[in-house]
């Protein structure tokens, strides 16, 4: 089957990691799969032989968005896919309209966050509700029990097309020892090191980790990712006298992320909002003990089938609370070992093969 995946922007982030795994898994099952990005944001996919771009930069204003949709329609008409899989709210919106205009027979959408009520995001959620209720999506994927519950108040016609497929998470085998991993990313060798990954935006809340560093006087932090908040994080570090203990390593490929995780003693995930939390589950499966924000969805995805958790959960709006959780983990090696063991046991639940089988089952009526 010919399949096109529609993503909003080309960058190394969680939604893109999911479509990478889905594309690779479906190709391994004999399908033809390409991923088209509405626009190129970074060079993360420039060398990907299965990636295409509608625009080389973000569209500006209503005219730019119309041009992007028109370009996507032309692309889909040329590719003639039998199924389009869309990701992220803009990808769902523009991808569905373009697929309908191009005559694609089957559309599978992904709901990667809870419905919003305010501003542009609230408007998009209302459009999504209307599209799903009208049956413009043939299937509509949610990726956790928590995520599915957020649509409980939607019309029954919308909910009838919801399908739960938990994200797959690639196993981050520690192919590097800690010393070589730190050398690879120019990180100090003989210091306690907390690592974290994610876009540098306010919602990912990396500043909570930096705030904790003020109280954990010997702890260093290594942050992988790019985004508009980097300058603010660097300024905070300078102003609080911790700049020498904060290390930014930039945007990493999935393979580089796996090497980066090997450098850490613990993983800190302070995100304010998630529908799954791909990066923190990846770190848990790699065996890192976790300090996580206290979100219901993260309690769900970081708890094993036998009820063990892979994380200490902290209120991350409180730097003192985050610091206390980190200090507790560092002071108790037995606790760290239990969290690490629980995280590794998540590997089968989130096997990419299981996720891809779920997607393949949705490709035909």
The predicted-structure confidence for 234-276, as pLDDT tens digits, reads as follows 999 999 999 999 999 999 988 899 899 999 999 999 999 999 9
Q: Dihedral sign, CA of 36, 258, 356, 272?
A: negative
Q: Quick one: pLDDT band at residue 172, thresholds 50, 70, 90?
A: low
Backbone torsions φ then ψ of 275, nearest 5 degrees: -105, -15
Tokens 């990493």, residue? 252
Q: What's the rounded Cα separation, in Å, for the pair 105 and 87?
A: 18
CA angle (315 as vertex; 153, 151 as ends), nearest 5: 10
Q: What's the rounded Cα separation, in Å, for the pair 74 and 70?
A: 6
Q: What's the rounded Cα separation, in Å, for the pair 313 and 264?
A: 19
Assess contact for 283 and 172: CB atoms under 8 A. yes
Domains and CATH numbers, the chain: 2-168+350-360 (3.40.50.2000), 178-344 (3.40.50.2000)
Please compute the mean of the pLDDT values over residues 299-320 and round it to a whole number: 92
Q: Quick one: pLDDT band at residue 173, thresholds 50, 70, 90?
A: low
* CA 161 to centroid of chain Cα atoms: 23
Q: Quick one: pLDDT band at residue 317, thresholds 50, 70, 90?
A: confident
Q: Is 90 exceeded by the pLDDT of residue 191? A: yes
pLDDT the model gives residue 12: 84
pTM over 0.85: yes
Q: What's the rounded Cα separation, in Å, for the pair 69 and 89?
A: 14
Please compute the mean of the pLDDT values over residues 157-177 and round it to a whole number: 85
Q: What's the half-sphere exposure (Cβ side, CA atoms, 13 Å) at 183? A: 5
* Three-state SS at 2: strand
pLDDT the model gives residue 175: 58
Average pLDDT, the chain: 93
- Closest CA relative to residue 203, chosen from 304, 111, 312, 116: 116
pLDDT the model gives residue 14: 83
Lowest-confidence region among 55-59, 138-142, 315-319: 315-319
Lookup: tokens for 328? 């507790």
pLDDT tens sequence across 209-235 = 999 999 998 999 999 999 999 999 999
pLDDT tens sequence across 56-103 = 999 888 888 899 999 999 999 999 999 999 998 889 999 999 999 999
Backbone torsions φ then ψ of 109, nearest 5 degrees: -105, 160
pLDDT the model gives residue 117: 85
Helices (H), 61-204: 61-79, 89-101, 119-134, 145-149, 156-159, 178-184
Q: Is 90 exceeded by the pLDDT of residue 204? A: yes
pLDDT the model gives residue 33: 98
Q: What's the rounded Cα separation, in Å, for the pair 76 and 56?
A: 17
pLDDT the model gives residue 174: 55
Q: What's the rounded Cα separation, in Å, for the pair 39 and 70?
A: 13
Query: What are the distances in angstroms from CA 140 to CA 31, 104, 118, 339?
Result: 20, 16, 22, 33
* Three-state SS at 94: helix
pLDDT the model gives residue 171: 77
pLDDT tens sequence across 105-137 = 999 999 988 888 888 889 999 999 999 999 999
């Amino acid at each position: 089957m010919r399949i096109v995946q529609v993503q909003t922007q080309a960058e190394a982030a969680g939604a893109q990691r999911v479509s990478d795994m889905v594309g690779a898994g479906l190709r391994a099952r004999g399908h033809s799969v390409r991923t088209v990005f509405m626009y190129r944001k970074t060079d993360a996919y420039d060398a990907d032989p299965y990636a295409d771009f509608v625009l080389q930069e973000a569209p500006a204003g209503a005219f730019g968005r119309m041009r992007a949709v028109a370009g996507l329609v032309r692309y889909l008409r040329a590719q003639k896919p039998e199924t389009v899989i869309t990701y992220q709210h803009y990808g769902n919106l523009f991808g569905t309209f373009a697929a309908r205009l191009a005559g694609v027979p089957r559309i599978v959408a992904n709901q990667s966050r809870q419905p919003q009520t305010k501003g542009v995001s609230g408007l998009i959620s209302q459009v999504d509700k209307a599209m799903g209720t009208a049956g413009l999506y043939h299937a509509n994927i949610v990726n956790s029990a928590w995520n599915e519950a957020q649509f409980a108040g939607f019309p029954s016609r919308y909910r009838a097309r919801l399908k739960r497929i938990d994200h797959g998470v690639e196993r981050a085998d520690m192919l590097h020892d800690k010393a070589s991993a730190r050398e690879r990313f120019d990180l100090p060798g003989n210091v306690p090191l907390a690592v974290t990954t994610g876009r540098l935006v306010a919602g990912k809340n990396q500043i909570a980790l930096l705030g904790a560093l003020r109280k954990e006087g010997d702890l260093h932090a290594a942050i992988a990712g790019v985004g508009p908040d980097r300058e603010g994080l660097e300024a905070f570090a300078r102003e609080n006298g911790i700049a020498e203990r904060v290390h930014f390593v930039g945007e990493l490929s999935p393979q580089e992320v796996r090497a980066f995780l090997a450098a850490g003693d613990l993983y800190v995930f302070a995100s304010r909002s998630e529908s799954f939390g791909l990066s923190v589950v990846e770190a848990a499966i790699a065996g890192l003990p976790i300090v996580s924000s206290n979100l219901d969805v993260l309690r769900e995805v970081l708890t094993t089938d036998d009820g063990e958790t892979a994380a200490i959960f902290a209120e991350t709006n409180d730097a003192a609370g985050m610091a206390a959780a980190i200090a507790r983990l560092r002071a108790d090696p037995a606790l760290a070992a239990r969290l690490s063991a629980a995280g590794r046991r998540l590997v089968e639940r989130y096997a990419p093969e299981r996720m891809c089988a779920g997607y393949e089952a949705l490709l035909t009526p």
